[in-house]
Structure 1
Amino acid sequence: MLTYPTLRRLSFIGAFLAAAACVLSFGYSLATGVYLDQAASRGQTTLRLAIAGLRGHIDRFEPLPALIADHDDIKELAVSPNDAVLRDRANEYLKDINELLRSSDIYVMMVDGSTIAASNYDQATSFVGENFAYRPYFQDAVQGRNGRFFALGTTSLKRGYYFSSPILVGADIRGVVVFKVDMDAIEASWRGGDNEIIVADPEGIIFMTGRKDWLYAGLLPLTRKRIARTEQSKRYANAVLTELPVSNSSYDGRLPLLTVSESNERREYLDVSDTMEDAGWTVHVLLDTRSARAQAFTVAVAFLLVLGLAALAGLILWQRRARLAERLELQRSARIELEQRVDERTATLASVNRQLETEIDERRATERQLRQTQADLVQAGKLAALGQMSAALSHEFNQPLTAVKTYADNALVLLDRERIAEARDNVSRISGLSDRMASISRHLRNFARKPNEQLGPVEIESVIDDTLAIVASRLKSARAELSIDLGPAPLMVRAGAVRLQQVLVNIISNAADAVEGLKDRTIELSVQADAGRVRIAVRDHGPGVPDAIAERIFDPFFTTKGVGKGLGLGLSISYNIVKDFGGSLSIANHPEGGAVFTIELDAMPMQRHEAAE
C-alpha cells in the first residue's frame, strides 16, 4: 500500500510530467509558427531580389531589337534579302553587336519565318536557313508588336529569353529581328544557397532552377492540353517533360507548404511565390522547413528546461545563501590584493616614465648636437674649398693690383704733362679693376658665411653666375672649359641660394680635378625642367667613377685624392644639402665617357625678387 509521502511524490512527478508535455506541445506549436513566419519574411526578401534580378537582366535588352531593326543595313537586307553583299554585311554587324553586348544570339527573319542573317552565321549551329515561324515571338512581331518568349533553342539547345521587333520599311513589315538573352548566369547564381529558387512557365513547368534534376519538371499535372500548348510553340524542343512528385498543404491556413517526394525521401518546403505578369512566369522560393522545425523543437525543449530549472530554483536558493558570505570574503581579499598590485604597477610605470623622459631629453640633446655638427661640417667644407682656391685667387688679385699700380704711375706722369684725357682713361681702368676685385671678394664672403635654414625660390641663372665667379680661377688653373646650357627659359627652384652655390662649387671643382691634364677638358652644365622638377647636370670628360666606389662616393671623409688634397667632405655635404632642399643628388657614368652629377629639385614659379637664405 502506497504511503502518503510516496503518493505525494508521485502526484508531484505526474503533475510535472503533464505540465512538461503541455509546455512542450504548446511551445513547439508557437515556436514553429514564429520561425516559419521569419522564414517567410526572408523568403519574401529573396523573392523580391530574384524577381528584380530577372527583370533587370531582361529589361535592359528589351529595346535592342527595335534599335537593330531600325539600322539602315538591316532595312536594306529586308528589302533585298537575296543580295549577298548585304547578307555578309548584316552577318558581320550582328556578330559585332552580339560580341559587344555579350548576348546569346541575334538574327533576322523574313515574314515567312526563314532566317537570312545571324550573329552565328559562321558556326556549326548557324540559324541561317532555319525557319522559326512557329515561335510566338515571331508571330507577335509579324503582326507589328514587340514579342517576348522564353524557350529552349531548337538548333542551339540552349535556354534563352527571346525579344523580337518588326522591321518597318515605311509602313510595311518586311522582316523580324530577334534578340536572344542567355539566362544561365542568373540561374548559376542561385545554386549552393540555403533556398531553392525556381521559375515556372504558365503551364507550371520548371525551366529555371538551381537543381538540375528539377529542370523541365511540372509543378502541375501534365495534362494533354498543357503538353499540346507546349509542343505547339516548341518551347522546350526535344526535352523530356516530367511531373515533380509534389503535394500542397498549408500551416495554420496561411503559410503554403509544398512537399516533394523523391528517392524515398520526403522534404517539406515553405513556398513563397509571386508572378511576373509581363513574362508570364511564376517565381517560387522554397525554404526547407527542417531548420525552422528543428529550431522550434529546440525552443520547446528550452521551455521545458526552464520549467525544470524553476523546480530546482528552491534547492539552489539556500545553497547560494550559504555561499554568499564566503564569496563576499573572497571578493574582499581579492580587492585588497588587486589594490596592492595596482599600487606596485603604478610605481613601476612611474619609474619607467621617468626613465623614458630622461632618454627623450638625452635624445633631443643628441639631435641638437648632431644638427650643430652637421652645420659645422658644412662650414668646414666651404672653408676647405676656399683654402684650396686661395692660391689661384691670389693670382687673380695680384694681376689687377699690378695693373692698378701701373695705371696709377702712368696717370701721375700724364697729369704732370697735362695730358688730362689719357690720365682720366687710366683712372677709369683703375676703377674697373677695383670693381672686379670687389666682386670676387663679395662672392667669396657670401660663400664663406653660414646660411640659415630658410628655403624659398632661387633663380638658377643667378646662382650659376655667382658660382662662376668662385670657380673661375680653378677652371683657369685646370685649363678647363665650362659649357653652360640654361634651356629656353629662366628657371627657379626651391632651395637656398648660398648652399646651392656651395653644391655647384663642389661639383664643378671636382669636375675640374677630373679633367685636369687630359686632352678633352670640357665640362658641360645643363639645366632642364620636367614635370614639376628641375634637373641640373654637370658632366666632365674625365675617367668616370669606378663601380667599386660609386656606392661610397657620398660617404663622409671618402676621397680618391692624394693626402692633403681634400677631406672627403665636399660630396657628402653636398648630398645632405640637396636632401635638405627636398631634392636628390646622384652620380652616373656617361655612355660616351666621364662622370655625370645630377641634381633634382622642385621647380618654383618665376619671381623677380631674390630668395634670401
Structure 2
Amino acid sequence: MGRAVKVVSPLQRWLLLGASFAILATLIVALGSPLAQRAYLDEAETRAQTTLRLAVAALRGHLRRYEALPSVVADYPIIQAMVIDADNQALSDRGNAYLKRINALLNSSDIYVMLPNGETIAASNFDGDVSFVGENFSYRPYFTEAVEGRQGRFFALGTTSLKRGYYFSAPIRIGAVVRGVVVFKVDVDMIEATWAGGDSEIIVTDPEEIVFMTSRPEWLYSALEPLTPDRIERTQISRRYADADLFDLPIRRARSVEEHQLIAIGGSRASQEFLMLGEPMDEAGWTVRVLLDTTSARTQALTLIAAALMVLGLATLAAAFILQRSARLEERTRLQSAAREQLEQRVAERTADLAAVNRQLETEVSERRATEQQLRQTQTDLVQAGKLAALGQMSAALSHEFNQPLAAVRNYADNAAVLIERGRVVEASDNIARISKLTERMASISKHLRNFARMPNRQLRAVPLEQVVADTMEVIAWRLKAADAEIHIDLGPVPPIVRAGPVRLQQVLVNIISNAADAVEGLDDRRIDLTARSSGSRVLITVRDRGPGVPEGIVGRVFDPFFSTKGVGKGLGLGLSISYNIVKDFGGNLSVERHQEGGAVFTIALDAAELTLNEAAE
C-alpha cells in the first residue's frame, strides 16, 4: 500500500513563510546587532589605538627635545657667574641677553634663572610686557626638586604669563653647592593645535585626572573624576592651574562592552558617546586618552542589520513569488484538466480552432527566439562599441602627444631642405641633429604614455628646470612664431631643481605654453610670462598669458578629458587633462586662475630637489 501524501494548503504555505520571516528577522536583530556593533567597535578601536600611539610619540618627542637643555645652560659660565654675584647688573644684562638668544634659537617658551630662595634674577622675557624677573616661584615643584639637586619636571599654567607649558629644571652647581636653578618652559599649544579637526578627540590629564590638553577647548581644565576637596587642595598648593576655574566634565555614564570602554559626555537630554583608550606617560606623570565618537560605528552596524533585513525581505518576496506562481500553475493545471475533458467531447468541432491556436503559439515562440537573438546581438554590439571607444581615446591621446614634436620635426626638416639648397650644410646638419633629438623625445613620450595609468614614483629624480625649459623652447618655438607670441622666461638668480621626470615635465610645459599661444594669437598684447620661484620645500612654476582668460563657470572643468573651449577641429581637450595627471604623478599640483589684469595663470607646484653626483653627471 502506498503512503498517503499530506497536501499543504496555500494558506498554510503563506503562514509558514510569514513565521519563517519573523523568526529569521528576530534572530538577525537579536544576535546580529551585537556582533555587528562589536566588529565595528573593534575596527574603531584599531583606528583610535593608532591615533593614540601617534599622539604619545609626538608628546614624548617634543619633551625629549628639551629634557637635557637645562643642565647644559646651568654649566654656562655667564649663568654660574650671575648666581654667584646676583647684584652685578652687568652680569644680569649679559645673562638676560644670553637667555633671550638661546630661547629664540631653541624655540622654547621661556628660560629663566632663580636663586635658592626662589627669586628670578634673569629671564628670556626680561624686556617683554610680562617679565619673570623679580618673580618668586619657590612654590613650584620643579623649583623644589632642582634646589634639592635633582632635575625637575612639571606641567602647569603660568601664574604670570597665564600660558600653559611644561617646565624642565636643573640645579646650578658651584662645586658641590646648589647656587641656583635653571628652568625651561616648553609651549605645548603647537602640539595641541595639530589635534584639531580629526575624527577623534585627544585629551591629556594630570595625576589628579584634570584635563590640561585637549582638542576640544570647552573641556580644558575639566576633571574626569569628581573634584574632591583633597584633589583641589593638592592642585592649589602647587598652583598648577593658577586662577583657572576647574569643573567636573559631565560624564553621564561609563560602561564596558566586550572589553571596549564607552563613556557618554553631556547632559541628560543630549550626550555624546565615545570609545575611550588611554596610555600613561609615566615620565611626565600624564595619561593620554583618545575619545572616538561611536556614532559612526553604531550607524554602520545598524546599516548592516538593515541591509541583512532587506536581503531577508527580498528573499521572502522571492519565496512569495514562487509560492504564488506555484499556486497559479496548480490552478492552471486544474483548469487544463477540465478543459481537456471538454475538448475530448468536442474534438471534432474544435479541430480548426486548435490548429489556429497551435499556429499562434508557434508564431510567439519564433518571435521570442528572434527577440533573444536580437538581444544577444545588441549586447555584442555594445561590447564592441566599448572596445572602439577605449581604442579611440588611446588614439586621441597618442595623436595629441605626438602633434607638437611632429610639427617641430616638420619645421626643422623644411628649414634643412632650404639650407641644403643654399649650401649651408653646417646649419642643415644642426637642424637634422635637432630632428634626431626630437624623434628620441617622441620615443620617450611613447614609452611614458603609461602616465595615464600612474607611473611609480621611483622613476622620478632631480631635474634642473633650466634644461627642461630650454628643451621645451626647442619644441614649442615654431608655435610661438606662428602665433607671433613673445615669451619672457625668468627662472630666478639660481634656476631651481625639481623632483620630476624630465620628458614628462617637458610635455606639461609644451601643452600649457601651446594653450597660452592659442590664447594670445591675434591679440594686441601677445606676451607670455614663464617664471619659477622656490617657496619653502616647493617650486612654483607659473605661465601667464594676456588672452581672454578662463571663464569662472568652467574653471573646475578645464582639466577634464576631452573638454575644450576651442572651436571644432582646433583641439581634442586632452592636453590639460594629461598635464594634470602627469603633475599629480610627480606629487605636485596643477591649478589655473584668472589674473586680475586679464588672462589666465597656470601654476605648477613641484617638490624641490637637489642633484646627486650621478644625476649631475647625467
Range class of TM-score, shorter chain: 0.5 to 0.7
- 1:375, distance to aligned residue in structure 2 (A): 3.4
1:169 corresponds in structure 2 to: 174
Give the one of 419, 431, 445 matched to 1:374: 419
Aligned to 1:146: 151
- With over 3 angstroms needed to count, the CA separation of the structure-2 counterparts of 1:32 and 1:340, relative to structure 1, is closer
Post-superposition CA distance 1:544-597 (Å, at most 9, x none):
xxxxxxxxxxxxxxxxxxxxxxxxxxxxxxxxxxxxxxxxxxxxxxxxxxxxxx
Within-5 A mapping of 1:250-261: 250-261=255-266
Change in CA separation of 1:10 and 1:369 when aligned onto 2, cut-off 3 Å: closer
User: What is the distance in 2 between the residues matched to 1:298 and 1:58?
Assistant: 44
1:17 to 13, 19, 22: 22
Whether contact under 8 Å (1:141, 1:164) holds in the other structure is: yes
Q: Any idea what the Cα deviations from partners look like across 1:165-205, whole Å, max 9, x if unmatched? A: 11111111110000000101111111121111000100010
Unpaired segments ≥5 residues, structure 2? 1-7, 326-364, 399-404, 431-493, 495-618
Q: Does 1:110 align with 2:90?
A: no
2:260/2:275 contact within 8 Å kept: yes
Residue 127 of structure 1: how far off its partner (Å): 0.6
Contact 1:142 1:166 in 2 (8 A): yes
- Give the distance between the partners of 2:386 and 2:62, measured in 1 at CA: 67
Letter in 2 for 1:214: W
Normalised to the residue count of structure 2, the TM-score between the two structures is 0.55
SS in 1 for 2:305: helix
Inter-partner Cα distance in structure 1 for 2:270 and 2:426:
92
Q: What amino acid does structure 1 have at the position aligned with 2:207?
A: P
Structure 1 residues 54, 324: CA separation in 2 closer, same or farther (over 3 Å shift)? farther
Partner of 1:124: 129
Residue by residue, what CA displacement relative to the aligned partner does 1:460-502 show, whole Å, maximum 9, x if unpaired?
A: xxxxxxxxxxxxxxxxxxxxxxxxxxxxxxxxxxxxxxxxxxx
Written as runs of structure 1 = structure 2, the 5 A alignment for 1:343-362 is none
The list of structure 1 runs, each at least 4 consecutive aligned residues, that deviate by more than 6 angstroms after superposition, is 315-319, 322-325, 336-343, 360-367, 450-455
- Partner Cα separation in structure 1 for residue 162 and residue 117 of structure 2: 23
| Cα distance change on mapping 1:117 and 1:453 into 2, 3 Å | same
Match of 2:290 among 277, 285, 291: 285
| Residue type at the aligned position of 2:257 | D
Matched, 1:44 2:59: no
Tell me if the contact between 1:248 and 1:256 (Cα under 8 Å) persists in the aligned partners: no
Task: Say whether residues 1:26 and 2:71 are aligned partners.
Answer: no
Q: Which residue of 1 aligns with 2:444?
A: none
Which residue identity lines up with residue 374 of structure 1 in the other structure?
A: L
Residues 1:240 and 2:245 aligned together: yes
Looking at structure 2, the residues matched to 137 and 257 of structure 1 have their Cα atoms a distance apart, in angstroms, of 36
User: If you compute each CA radius of gyration, which structure gives the higher value, 1 or 2?
Assistant: 1
Q: Go from structure 1 to structure 2 and tell me whether the alpha carbon gap of 1:340 and 1:290 turns closer, same or farther (over 3 Å shift).
A: closer
Asked if 1:57 is matched to 2:81, the reply is no
* Equivalent AA in structure 1 for residue 85 of structure 2: S
- 1:12: Cα distance to partner? 2.5
The letter of the residue matching 2:77 is D
Paired letter, 1:141: A
Question: Which amino acid in 1 is paired with 2:377?
Answer: R
Cα 1:32/1:327, change in 2 over 3 Å: farther
User: Which amino acid is 2:147 matched to?
Assistant: V
2:380 is matched by which residue type in structure 1? R
Give runs of aligned pairs for residues 592-603 of structure 1, distance below 5 A. Answer: none
Residue in structure 2 matched with residue 181 of structure 1 by the alignment: 186
Report the CA distance shift for 1:138/1:372 in structure 2 as closer, same or farther (over 3 A).
Answer: same
CA contact (8 A) 2:255 2:261 kept: yes
What is the aligned partner in structure 2 of residue 335 from structure 1? 380
Q: CA deviation at 1:454?
A: 7.7
Q: Give the aligned partner of residue 509 of structure 1.
A: none
SS at match of 1:9: helix
**Taking every aligned residue pair, what percent have the same amino acid on both sides?**
48
CA distance in 2, matches of 1:218, 1:268: 17
Shift of the 367–115 alpha-carbon distance from structure 1 to 2, 3 Å rule, reads: closer
Change (3 A) 1:325 1:310: farther
1:269, 1:165 → 2: CA distance?
Answer: 40
TM-superposed CA distance for 1:78, in Å, is 0.9
The reply on whether 1:191 has 2:236 as its aligned counterpart is no
CA deviation string 1:518-549 (max 9, x = no partner): xxxxxxxxxxxxx9xxxxxxxxxxxxxxxxxx
Residue identity opposite 2:46 in structure 1: S
Report how far residue 9 of structure 1 moved.
2.2
2:274 to 265, 269, 281: 269
Question: Once the 2 structures are TM-superposed, how far is the Cα of residue 13 of structure 1 from its aligned partner?
Answer: 1.6
1:136 maps to 2:141: yes
Task: Please give the secondary structure, in 2, of the residue aligned with 1:165.
Answer: strand
Counterpart AA for 1:189 = T
Structure 1 Cα separation of the partners of residues 315 and 264 of structure 2: 39
Structure 1 regions of 5+ residues with no counterpart?
Answer: 354-359, 380-449, 456-530, 532-613
Q: Distance in 2 between matches of 1:283 and 1:201?
A: 9
Whether 1:92 and 2:137 are equivalent positions in the alignment is: no
User: 2:373 and 2:81 mapped to 1: Cα distance?
Assistant: 98
Q: CA deviation at 1:257?
A: 1.0
Distance change in 2, residues 1:324/1:135 (3 Å): farther
Cα distance in 2 for residues equivalent to 1:121 and 1:341 = 76
CA contact (8 A) 1:145 1:166 kept: yes
CA offsets, 1:201-230, max 9 Å, x none? 000100011111111111011111111110
SS at match of 1:140: helix
Q: Which amino acid aligns with 2:106?
A: L
Provide the rounded CA distance (Å) in 2 between the counterparts of 1:99 and 1:211.
29
What is the root-mean-square deviation of aligned Cα atoms in Å? 3.7
CA distance in 1, matches of 2:290, 2:278: 6
8 Å contact from structure 1 (residues 25, 300) kept in 2: no
List per-residue Cα deviations over 1:113-134 (Å, max 9, x = no partner).
1100001111231111111011
Please tell me whether residue 155 in structure 1 is matched to residue 160 in structure 2: yes
User: Secondary structure in 1 aligned to 2:266?
Assistant: strand
CA distance in 1, matches of 2:103, 2:408: 71
CA distance in 2, matches of 1:95, 1:129: 16
Q: Distance in 2 between matches of 1:285 and 1:42?
A: 10
| SS of the residue 1:161 aligns to | strand
CA deviation vs aligned residue, 1:72-129 (integer Å, no higher than 9, x gap):
1000001111100000000011111111122111000001111000011112311111
Q: Alpha-carbon deviation of 1:25?
A: 2.4
TM-score by length of 1: 0.55
Task: Please give the secondary structure, in 1, of the residue aligned with 2:161.
Answer: coil
AA matched with 1:332: Q
Q: 1:329 to 1:315 in 2, by over 3 A?
A: farther
Separation in structure 2 between the aligned mates of residue 213 and residue 299 of structure 1, nearest angstrom:
34
Do the aligned residues in 1 keep the contact of 2:17 with 2:316 (CA within 8 Å)?
no
AA of the residue aligned to 1:20: A
- Go from structure 1 to structure 2 and tell me whether the alpha carbon gap of 1:338 and 1:51 turns closer, same or farther (over 3 Å shift): closer
